[in-house]
Structures are given as C-alpha cells and as structure tokens.
C-alpha cells in the first residue's frame, strides 16, 4: 500500500545533531549532506511512484524518498549495494542526507531495496519501456538546481557515447554456446538425451570454447547451430508456456546466423552478412553491435545534452536517452528535440553525426537553431562551382560567385530556383563549371530545399568553426566522468534496466556538480570569445 512520506519538520528528542559539539556541527553544515537533503531529498515527488503499489492492500511502503535518495548516493559514490546499506546503517552523513537525524531510527532490509527496483522495472516494462518515473525526477530536480544556480539554459550541446551492459565480449561461437546451454538447462530430466547431458558437461565447453583452432571456427559454429536446431525441436514438445524465452532466443539465433546450404544441411552464414541488430548475448536480447573506427562495440548508446553557456559557473545535464547502439544520432535527436526545447534551449551544438536537413528543419519547428562542429557529405565538385559558392542567404535575391544578382527567386515545397541574366551567364568564363543551366532568355539555378538547407549549414559551420568547437569540446569530459562512475559497463542487462540505471547515474552527476557549486568549488571564468 502506498503511503506518502512527509518530511519531518520537528526536532526529535533522539536527534544526534542537537547533541553535537559546535565544531562538529560546523563540519556537518559544510558537508554535502545538508545540500542533498534540501535540494534533492526534499524535492523528490513521491506521488508518481504510487503506481508501483496497491492503493489499499498490504503494509505501507518504505518511504520512496529514502529509497530513491539511496540509489542516487550509490551512483554518486559508485559503491556496491553492500557498501550502501552499511553506510545507511552507520554513516551519519548518509542518514542526515535522507532525513534520518538518528542512526538506526528507520532500519532498511536489503530485500526492500531490491523489491523497489523490481517494481520500478516491471512498471516500466508494462509501459513498453516508456521510462517516466526516474526521468520525471531528473527533470524536476535538475530544474531546481538550474534555478538555484541561475544557469543560462539557451545554449546547449549534445553528444552520444557507447557503453556495455553486463555482458561479455565474445564471438559467435560463444554466443551459440550460451544459447545452447541456456536451452539445455530447461529440458526436463525425463527428456534428457546423451547430447543434452554432454552440452551441460564441462568437457563440452572446453572442447568447443577453448580448444577450437581458428581454421575450425566455422565448422564449430555450424555444429553448435545444428545442436541448437535439435534443442529447439525438443523444447517445442514442451508446449506453450514452458521455456518460451529459450525457444524465442534459439529461434532468433537460427534466423540471424544460420541458413540451409546447397546440400540441404544447416550451415552458419558468413559473419559479414550478420546484421548489426542481431542478438549479441544470450542474456541481453536488446544489445546490438556497432563498429566505430576499427573497434567493435556491443551494447547501447546514451545521448547526453547539457548547458554550455560561458556565463555559467558549471554546466548541468538537461536531457538524456538510452538506445541500442545501432540507432543513428539523427534518429535519437529527432526523438529528443521536444524535451530539449522544453528545457529552454535555443541553440544546440553537436558533431556531424547529428547533421541532416530534416533535423535542422525539425529543430527550427521547436525553436532551436542547430550548430555543428563538422559536417557530413560532399561539399565540392572538382573544378567547379557548387551551391555553396552562391550567396543564398536572402530569400528574394541570390548572388553568384562572380557577383551577378538573380532576377527572381522562387521557393517551392521541395525545390528552390533562381533566374539570372542569360546574356551575362553565356558570357561568363565559368559557364561550363557552373550548376546553373542556360535557357533561351535566362539561366536557371535549381536546387532541392534540403540541399539548400545543408548549404546554409555548411557556410555557418565554416564561419563559426572555432566557436562551435569550443562549445562542444567539454561534453567529452562529461561522458568520461559518467564512465568513471560505472557507466562504461553497467552491472545490469537489457535496455529498460540500462535506461533506469543511466538515468540515476546522470542525475547523480548533476547532484555532484550542484553540491560542488554550493560548496564554492566553481567560480565564473571569463573566457575570450572566439570568432
């Protein structure tokens, strides 16, 4: 049963703070705990979490404020659950931060913490991964931080970073072996065959995993896939409702990694033909594969948006999302623009991965101007003029590279065109290298609206290159800081759990920055403007 926890306002008779020496009180008042208590613990909105509990039945829940605060402290300090619970029992700073002014006044069982996480996960899963509870607290608490600091929110930057869930880096043989063993464990004793018992023996693992030569890996994989097919047939006899997860995983493995060969036998397909969206782990079906440079990554991608105004003493993360790492930056930004705009963003700086005409238009619809630190696509044609060489900044008049002004400009839904004086164009020495086309009485330059948008973006990129680079550079430090706090490889699996944990880690990062600001570690640093 859900019960809202009212923050105690009256001092208790057993309040340890009341009995402290004044020097100890001073140290406590200058620590992180009072800042956390006032700006995080007291600002947590418990009402949305009522959905995790029955409205009437059961014992009252342990306070959500304390549970969520402890989760944040865990990620702020990057400690284990065991260390967290020990701190809750014996560390007065942690207790003060979560509203307990006397040690041991409100005992917490380990199972209570795990039950809260389970409820949060199941609630999110029931809503098809739409994670709103942690993200809602992130928005509310971060907004409070920004207001207390007086942050300028108009200028922001965005970047993405790759990370792993709690899976191992392994090849296709290891994947097929894990899927096979997971399925074999679901076979009832009475249906066990010699092959099934062999699969579960340590000797089988040693033979397949550790004694396979590089020349044998293809045949070893084919053997495992054929055994998976046989295992699937055994599992199918169990009927619906039994080993459904294992049947689904084996079926997916066979669909993605096997095909019937010319001889009619099941064969492993060439690794080059395996989709990056294919399953990467028998225990994390959402993880995907992405190659960046010469390195392959398995897992997920987090997008992070933060403020970047030079006026701010420090910056705060304003938005985040977590997706499989095959998602493109353009796709992710398209889904996040509404949330980013709601934070007060007016200009958003990103790298070339976020660059597309559609993104620029969609951002404009949300009142956001995109700025880039590099651009994708071709910008020049060898030995000739391009649309980039024309001055198309004014809607009514375009100017060619030789200085000739257009007679008229028309803008359609998909294309724009400009007419130039035909005699002047025919007399121009650059006629053969110009994208305009001579007509009977004039010359016409016709370009797509998306092409025109990208031309404007490239010109602005060249004009503001140094400024944009300086705006975006520091977000790499934010990604690094998050990974140093455990986001490089999480201790959970699956997109939903990764999204929940990343949300807590990002809010913890904001909390650490805010505490340092209150404690005076950040001071405004006037920077010379770059042009």
Does 489 lie in the same domain as 447? no
Q: Distance of alpha carbon 339 from its chain centroid, rounded?
A: 14
Check: CB of residue 257 under 8 Å from CB of residue 269.
Answer: yes
Helices 133-149, 110-126: crossing angle, 10 deg rounding: 100
- For 160-206, write each residue's pLDDT tens digit: 999 999 998 888 999 999 999 999 999 999 998 888 898 999 888 88
pLDDT score of 527: 47
pLDDT score of 9: 67
User: Is 5 a member of any domain?
Assistant: no
Tokens of 314: 């420090």
Check: CB of residue 35 under 8 Å from CB of residue 514.
Answer: yes
Does 415 lie in the same domain as 313? no
Does 275 lie in the same domain as 197? yes
pLDDT score of 217: 53
Q: What are residue 160's DSSP bridge partners? A: 303
User: What does the pLDDT average to over 388-394?
Assistant: 88
Does 113 lie in the same domain as 22? yes
User: Is 442 a member of any domain?
Assistant: yes
Does 327 lie in the same domain as 275? no
Check: CB of residue 84 under 8 Å from CB of residue 73.
Answer: yes
Highest mean pLDDT of the ranges 23-37, 364-378, 427-441: 23-37
User: Is 458 a member of any domain?
Assistant: no
Domain of 330: which CATH number?
3.30.420.10
Does 341 lie in the same domain as 197? no
User: Is 363 a member of any domain?
Assistant: yes
Farthest-apart Cα atoms in the chain, separation: 97
Q: Which of 467, 510, 463, 451 is nearest to 349 (CA)?
A: 467
User: Is 503 a member of any domain?
Assistant: yes
Does 308 lie in the same domain as 258? no
Last residue of a domain, one of 423, 451, 479: 451
Higher pLDDT pick, 383 / 452: 452
pLDDT score of 48: 95
User: What does the pLDDT average to over 15-37?
Assistant: 92
3-state class of 216 per DSSP? helix
pLDDT score of 467: 85
Tokens of 480: 């690094």
- Is the pLDDT score of 530 beyond 60? no
Q: Say which residue the tokens 């098809």 belong to.
A: 128
Does 178 lie in the same domain as 159? no
DSSP code, position 173:
H
Last residue of a domain, one of 233, 253, 283: 283
Does 277 lie in the same domain as 299? no
Q: How many Å from the N-terminal Cα to the C-terminal Cα in the chain?
A: 59
pLDDT band at 431 (very low <50, low <70, confident <90, very high): confident
pLDDT band at 531 (very low <50, low <70, confident <90, very high): very low
Q: Output the average pLDDT for the chain.
A: 91
User: Is 263 a member of any domain?
Assistant: yes
Give the percent of the chain with pLDDT over 90: 72
- For 487-513, write each residue's pLDDT tens digit: 999 999 999 999 999 999 999 999 999
| Number of domains the chain is built from | 4
- For 226-273, write each residue's pLDDT tens digit: 999 999 999 999 989 999 999 999 999 999 999 998 888 999 999 999
pLDDT score of 213: 54
Q: What are phi and psi of 336, to 5 degrees?
A: -100, -10
User: Is 3 a member of any domain?
Assistant: no
Full residue range of the structural domain in which residue 472 is found: 155-165+292-376+465-518
Does 208 lie in the same domain as 356? no
User: Is 137 a member of any domain?
Assistant: no
Does 104 lie in the same domain as 29? yes
Does 299 lie in the same domain as 274? no
């Amino acid at each position: 049963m859900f019960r809202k926890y009212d923050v105690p306002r009256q001092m208790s008779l057993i309040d340890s703070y009341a009995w402290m020496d004044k020097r100890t009180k001073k140290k406590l008042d200058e620590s992180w705990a009072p800042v956390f208590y006032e700006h995080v613990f007291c600002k947590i909105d418990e009402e949305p979490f009522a959905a995790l509990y029955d409205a009437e039945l059961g014992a009252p829940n342990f306070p959500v404020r304390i549970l969520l605060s402890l989760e944040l402290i865990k990620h702020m300090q990057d400690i284990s659950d065991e260390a967290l619970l020990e701190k809750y029992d014996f560390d007065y700073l942690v207790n003060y931060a979560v509203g307990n002014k006397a040690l041991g006044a409100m005992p917490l069982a380990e199972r209570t913490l795990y039950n809260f996480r389970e409820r949060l996960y199941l609630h999110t899963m029931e809503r098809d991964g739409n994670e709103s509870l942690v993200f809602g607290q992130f928005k509310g608490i971060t907004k409070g931080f920004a207001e207390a600091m007086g942050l300028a929110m108009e200028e922001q930057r965005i970047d993405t970073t790759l990370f792993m869930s709690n899976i191992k880096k392994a090849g296709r043989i290891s994947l097929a072996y894990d899927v096979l063993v997971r399925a074999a464990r679901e076979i009832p004793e009475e249906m066990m065959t010699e092959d099934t018992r062999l699969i579960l023996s340590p000797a089988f693992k040693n033979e397949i995993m550790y004694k396979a030569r590089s020349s044998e890996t293809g045949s070893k994989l084919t053997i495992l896939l054929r055994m998976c097919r046989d295992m699937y047939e055994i599992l199918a006899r169990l009927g619906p409702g039994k080993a459904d997860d294992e049947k689904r995983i084996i079926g997916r493995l066979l669909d993605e990694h096997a095909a019937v060969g010319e001889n009619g036998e099941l064969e492993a397909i060439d690794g080059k033909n395996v989709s990056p969206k294919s399953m990467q782990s028998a225990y994390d079906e959402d993880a995907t594969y992405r190659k960046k440079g010469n390195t392959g990554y398995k897992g997920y991608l987090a997008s992070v948006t933060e403020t970047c105004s030079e006026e701010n003493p420090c910056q705060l993360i304003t938005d985040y999302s977590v997706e499989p790492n095959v998602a493109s930056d353009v796709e992710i930004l398209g889904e996040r623009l509404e949330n980013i705009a709601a934070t007060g963003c007016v200009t958003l700086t990103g790298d070339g991965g976020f660059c597309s005409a559609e993104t620029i238009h969609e951002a404009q619809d949300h009142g956001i101007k995109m700025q880039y630190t590099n651009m994708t696509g071709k910008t020049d044609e060898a030995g000739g003029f391009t649309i980039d060489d024309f001055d198309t900044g004014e809607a009514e008049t375009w100017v060619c590279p030789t200085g000739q002004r257009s007679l008229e400009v028309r803008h359609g839904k998909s294309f724009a065109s400009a007419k130039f004086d035909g005699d002047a164009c025919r007399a121009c020495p650059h006629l053969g290298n110009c994208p305009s086309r001579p007509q009977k009485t004039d010359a016409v330059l016709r370009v797509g609206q998306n092409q025109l948008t990208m031309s404007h973006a490239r010109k602005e990129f060249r004009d503001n290159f140094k400024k944009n680079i300086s705006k975006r550079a520091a977000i790499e430090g934010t990604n690094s800081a998050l990974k140093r706090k455990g986001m490089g490889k999480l201790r959970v699996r699956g997109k939903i759990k990764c999204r929940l944990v990343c949300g807590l880690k990002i809010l913890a990062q904001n909390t650490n920055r805010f505490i340092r600001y209150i404690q005076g570690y950040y001071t405004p640093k006037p920077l010379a403007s770059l042009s």
